[in-house]
Amino acid sequence: MSGSLFPTFSDIGIERFQSSEKTGSLLAVLNLYYPTKDLALLVVWSFLAGFSERLVPSILRDTETTLGKASTKE
């Protein structure tokens, strides 16, 4: 799968923030790191996969119960 919604696994990583501040400023002293777009997409998709692992069986179980009650009433 490819596209703007899917991560490119070879591009997953962490990037260093390049400060353009003067040498004496606080930002010039700090080393700031942030995730790449692909790492952020991987985290989002992993969260959705874990969430749906519990959500889908719950929805199926509730639907089965509802349909079972409806068929016994008839």
Give φ, ψ of 3 to 5 degrees: 140, 180
One-letter amino acid at 60 equals L
The count of structural domains within the chain is 1
Q: Mean pLDDT, 10 residues at a time, over the chain (74 residues)?
A: 84 82 62 88 92 89 88 72
pTM over 0.75: no
C-alpha–C-alpha distance, residues 1 and 40, integer Å:
17
2 within some domain:
no
28 within some domain:
yes
**What pLDDT is recorded for position 37?**
93
3 within some domain:
no
C-alpha–C-alpha distance, residues 74 and 64, integer Å:
16
- Four-point Cα dihedral 23, 29, 35, 36, nearest 10: 20
Give me the domain span that covers residue 15.
9-73
1 within some domain:
no
Q: Give the SS3 label for residue 36.
A: coil
